[in-house]
């Protein structure tokens, strides 16, 4: 379930925010990055 959750959140959150605002990209990628590395 955790893997599915991160997979669903990653594509939905990263691409749009990266294109919209680069300042949010590092914050989101950092938060999700910690979860991905932990899992």
Contacts 24+ apart (CB under 8 A), 23-26: none
Find where tokens 């605002």 sit: 21
* Residue 18: strand, helix, or coil: helix
Determine the Cα–Cα distance for residues 17 and 13; give it in Å rounded to an integer: 6
Report pTM: 0.13
Percent of the chain at pLDDT exceeding 70: 0
Note the pLDDT of residue 16.
55
- Residue 11 — pLDDT band, cuts 50, 70, 90? low
């Amino acid at each position: 379930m955790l893997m599915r959750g991160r997979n669903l959140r990653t594509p939905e959150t990263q691409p749009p925010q990266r294109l919209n605002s680069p300042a949010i990209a590092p914050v989101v990628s950092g938060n999700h990055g910690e979860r991905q590395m932990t899992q």
